[in-house]
Amino acid sequence: MRAPSNDRRRNAFLSLVPGFRERLISELRRNSVPQDAWAQHLAALTGCAVQTAVRWIAMDKPGLPDLSSVAALCVAFAVDANWLLGLSSQRATLAAAQPPMPHGCPALDRDPMTEWVGVCRVTMQQHAVGEVQYEVMRGDEMMPEIPPGAPILVDSGQQRLCVNGIYALRYEGALLVRRVEVRIGEGVMLRCANPAYPPTWLASTYGGDGFAVIGRVLLFLKAHSLSR
């Protein structure tokens, strides 16, 4: 088989760039992100600089993100990478049959807790607005309500802080879980259950200031493990 010529590679790249930009913008609109907050939202999701995210959606000479940023965007928007990259004409969501393993756990080492979370996820998906994502509580900010290591199921279709409740957010690449208190006409207060951590004030219900909303928490389990 002949290797593709430089011209073919260049033409493929030139068609990929605007296609990726258009699909990325469609995902931002699908999630009701205001246009003036697109770059900040993308930067918060991927942990990159705002100036870098601006290039991905620029109408003049747009650029492509690195592989890790593409992966982060696919997870954040619950969309298949083939579609986002223009390799598929049909939009598809990430597989939802099984929850992804927590970071650092072997994929073949599924324990009873992970299997139980998978059952819960399928059930919750029937009532969710968007894709139900599986996260794991990392810190003690929500103790004693949500302990470290607790599995969390998040509705990624609810990415606006317009209703009081518990939400999962991303800040500089780290997962945060906070109780949201909406103050109409003023903004949003993010509170921790652990009194050792002060609240955080956000002026926008879409996040901002480095915060990206992953979604609303539908379910969390206080147990760390289950016995057969």
Residue ranges of domains in the chain, CATH in brackets = 6-84 (1.10.260), 112-220 (2.10.109.10)
CA distance 149 to 224: 6
Please name the residues in contact with 145: beta carbons below 8 A apart, sequence gap of 6 or more: 193
Residue 172 has pLDDT above 70, yes or no: yes
Q: How far apart are CA 38 and CA 222, in angstroms?
A: 35
Q: How far apart are CA 89 and CA 115, in angstroms?
A: 33
In tens, the pLDDT along 124-167 reads 777 788 888 888 898 899 998 899 988 889 999 998 898 899 99
Classify residue 56 by burial, with Cβ atoms within 10 Å: 0-12, 13-18, 19+: buried
- Which residues are CB-neighbours of 99 under 8 A, at least 6 positions away? 114, 117, 118, 121, 134, 151
State residue 44's pLDDT score.
77
Q: What's the pTM value of the predicted model, to 2 decimals?
A: 0.53
Dihedral angle of Cα 24, 172, 146, 102, to the nearest 10 degrees: 70
